[in-house]
Amino acid sequence: MQITRHIPNSDQFIRFAQSLGPQTRHQFDQFDHMTPDEMLKDTNRFNFFGIVQKKIVGYGFLQKVTHKNKTLSLGIVVGDTHQGHGYGQKICENMIVWAWVNKYNKVWLGTYEDNVEALKLYKKLGFELEGIFVDDLDDGRAIYSLAVFNGYVGAPKRTQLQTKWLML
């Protein structure tokens, strides 16, 4: 699989978005809020495409959350017929390395509690649980807030407040 930051035109991205099944769209709801064209034009979003045989098999993005702390939000979706082949992991690894090379300090994401395979992947990639949002959604699902921190293998850098919280 080749990972690229740019695609020649948005038609291929639109076809990829339209090919996603209901369960995949349920887990990755970005297309409910923005069109593929809007995603490509968003200057606060860094796009990554997984390409196999000239076809998009996965899409990921890093979006600026804060400028002060250099935090990015991560989103990832792999096409239904390409899930379970390691494409999501490769795209995520590429995005995290890109974030560190570009001097970002934190990559954050939110995922639903029923997205079990994604939770396993994020744990494998070094993401740690920051919190759980309960009863925030109409469908009753909880959202896990996860983050990975630059330069710390196995344990995130703890601020004084985080350390104080852990000692309570």
Position 88 pLDDT exceeds 90: yes
For the residues 144-165, what does the mean pLDDT come to? 58
Give the HSE-up count for residue 44: Cα atoms under 13 Å, Cβ half-sphere: 10
How would you classify residue 44: left for phi > 0, otherwise alpha for psi between -120 and 50, otherwise beta?
A: alpha
- Spatial separation of the C-alpha atoms in residues 44 and 157, rounded to whole Å: 25
Cβ-contact 109, 68 below 8 angstroms: no
Residue-range domains of the chain with CATH: 2-167 (3.40.630.30)
- Give the mean pLDDT of 156-165: 49
**Average pLDDT of the residues in 63-77:** 87
Whole-model pTM?
0.82
Task: Compute the distance between CA of residue 37 and CA of residue 147 in angstroms, rounded to an integer.
Answer: 28
